[in-house]
Structure 1
Amino acid sequence: MYPIVRMVKELIVSRKAPALPLEGEHVSHHICWPWDLDIWMELNNGRTLTLYDLGRIPLARRVGLIGALARNRWGLTMAGACVRYRRRIRAFERVTMRSRAVCWDDRFIYLEQSMWKKNGECASHILYRSAVTDRNGIVPPARVLADMGHDLTSPPMPDWITTWIAAEAQRPWPPMQD
């Protein structure tokens, strides 16, 4: 089940947080509850992706994206993700989540999120390729950013993101079938 109560809590906690520039970082704090665990008694990998929503939605509000979505009747979707899991998160462990937009191109906004343990170790890191949509498909980031009143120039795209984009372009779609 989607953690609606936790999302409402994050939106309430962040409601008075100051606005952020588009590439600003939203920091939030979370607890791994027993219902987040898998059979190995650690944070389930699928639930990790759901918990990352708890950082992205308040980030989107703080940078002004939620307002633009509402004004224009746009939607928001994830068009790809690449995750690294490096440290286990156990029941009742507290983590700090960091969420930010890194850069954008003519179709997508690239978001980076990470979860950090109390001892300073990074437990997981994810890169998302996100898209704003309308009934005709993808809304170009330039149009979205103009509506939000942001500069249209992307920060330089890091090599590791460029490499990921190139690798994704080589991946067959649709996937092979037997």
Structure 2
Amino acid sequence: MSLVYPGLNFTPLNCREDTLLWIVGVLLLLFCSLDVWYYLRAAFVLVRAWFLSPVFDITAEQTASGRVVLHDVDLCHMNNARYLRECDFARFSLYMRNGVFKGVRALGATMVVGATTIRYRRPLCVGEAFELRSRIVTWDEKSFYVEQRFVSCKDGMVSAVMFCKQNVLRSSPDKILQHLCKRKVEVPEFPEDLQHWINFISASSKALRGGKIMLLWILSGSLVLFGSFDVWYFLRGSWMVIKSWFQGPVRDVLAEQVINGRVLLHDLDFMCHMNNARYLRECDFARYAHCTRNGLFLAARALNATMVIGATTIRYRRSLAFGEAFELRTRIVAWDEKSFYMEQRFVSKTDGFISAVMLCRQNVIRGNPQKILDHLCKRKVDCPEISEDLQHWIRFISASSQALRAESGLEDKTK
């Protein structure tokens, strides 16, 4: 029976259970998120090496004992990655006892692993004891080279051999050793096998630098290309034509076609809404799709004609904001002896509001709209009635053209 304190709603037993629950939960989260044992063992190795007697011979071999435990194994033998983990701990002890860590810290330097190579000769099985023998073999102007051997305690066989290139940052091995030994230390001769590995690293580095140089050329060329041309315009225009080519054709030349769009970052101006120029850009892509699907492009090419923009007018009714989805609805509303007239509407998907309306005059060169339509439809196609607003805009174009001709002294020439 639990003891309930007067005026309190909990018992000491429940309080202890809650505390234990929190502790277990935090520890579980910690062990799931971090390799806790790595940090604990590394700290233990450093503290233990601190209290062991120092090793004054920098190149002397040091031995650490180990045993293959359950979390080291894969197919009942030591996993290849665990060998490198054990080598980490052995190097921590090596550098702590021979003073290299002390010299690195005194000179404000840092050491990082630059490369490793390991050869497995015989597996170490679960429960098997081994010795890990580590020594600094030699060094150059940038790195220490450390050899580490796994020696089975069962029969003394060298089960694996690893070489580690330990890079020194913000200093050099010579400076570290001079600081420790107070004299110039001669570099030991490089063993033949180690020299081959160093040659491999050098060749690999050159190959990677060559790859980086190639990548640099590619990126620089792309930067020049994107800086000189509106690459996305050409890519997207080509994509719209190809995509429309594989979609089903639209047999009705006057039918409205719809494409979907969204306001992206590169569409914005300083007001954080779609820039007025981007509306016309979107209309270009919509017309490419429209004329591909209804066959106008093919018919014009068959008659050796070309279509170019002669004039546009656009009215903005409400801004399209960043991320806003819209439909761009395109249709041919009329034509005359020289041009097609197309209407394009930006309709917000949020509420169906028509945010902008554009009229486009698509001039036909080396042909005329009627011939293109007759060729496409194999019959006479009547032009729809021209709406009042479109008539006003056509008159505006005509008046503007006459005024410009008069300024240039061309008023007597044919339009």
Q: What's the TM-score, normalizing by structure 1?
A: 0.87
The code of the aligned residue for 2:373 comes to L
Secondary structure of 1:3's aligned partner:
helix
Hey, what does 1:142 align to over in structure 2? 370
How far is 1:10 from its partner? Answer: 3.1
C-alpha distance in 2 between matches for 1:74 and 1:167? 26
Hey, what does 2:130 align to over in structure 1? none
Is 1:6 aligned to residue 262 of structure 2? no
Hey, what does 1:74 align to over in structure 2? 305
C-alpha distance in 2 between matches for 1:151 and 1:92? 44
C-alpha distance in 1 between matches for 2:267 and 2:339? 30
1:108-165 Cα distance to aligned partner (Å, 9 max, x none): 111000101121111110011111213xxxx221111122125331011111111211
Structure 1: segments with no counterpart, 5+ residues: none
1:7-51 Cα distance to aligned partner (Å, 9 max, x none): 344335433233231111111101111011112111111111011
How far is 1:5 from its partner? Answer: 3.4
Report which structure shows greater RCO (CA 8 Å, sep ≥6).
1
- The 5-angstrom pairing of residues 13-28 of structure 1 reads 13-14=243-244, 15-28=246-259
Is the CA contact 2:303–2:372 (under 8 Å) kept in the aligned structure 1?
Answer: no
- Could you tell which deviates more after superposition, 52-61 or 164-173? 164-173
Hey, what does 2:352 align to over in structure 1? 120
- The structure carrying a bigger helix percent of its residues is 2
* Cα separation, partners in 2 of 1:175 and 1:87, compared to 1, 3 Å: farther
* Cα separation, partners in 2 of 1:175 and 1:100, compared to 1, 3 Å: farther
Hey, what does 2:399 align to over in structure 1? 170
Q: Percent identity?
A: 24
Secondary structure of 2:404's aligned partner:
coil
Q: What's the TM-score, normalizing by structure 2?
A: 0.39
C-alpha distance in 2 between matches for 1:165 and 1:106? 13
How many matched pairs? 173
Alignment partner for residue 36 of structure 1, among 250, 264, 267? Answer: 267
The code of the aligned residue for 1:29 comes to N
How far is 1:174 from its partner? Answer: 5.2
From the CA coordinates, give the structure whose radius of gyration is larger: 2
Alignment partner for residue 130 of structure 1, among 362, 373, 390? Answer: 362
C-alpha distance in 2 between matches for 1:147 and 1:111? 20
* Cα separation, partners in 2 of 1:31 and 1:175, compared to 1, 3 Å: farther
C-alpha distance in 2 between matches for 1:32 and 1:89? 7
Hey, what does 1:152 align to over in structure 2? 381
Structure 2: segments with no counterpart, 5+ residues: 1-229, 409-415
* Cα separation, partners in 2 of 1:32 and 1:9, compared to 1, 3 Å: farther
Secondary structure of 1:76's aligned partner:
strand
Alignment partner for residue 320 of structure 2, among 82, 89, 92? Answer: 89
* Cα separation, partners in 2 of 1:90 and 1:176, compared to 1, 3 Å: farther
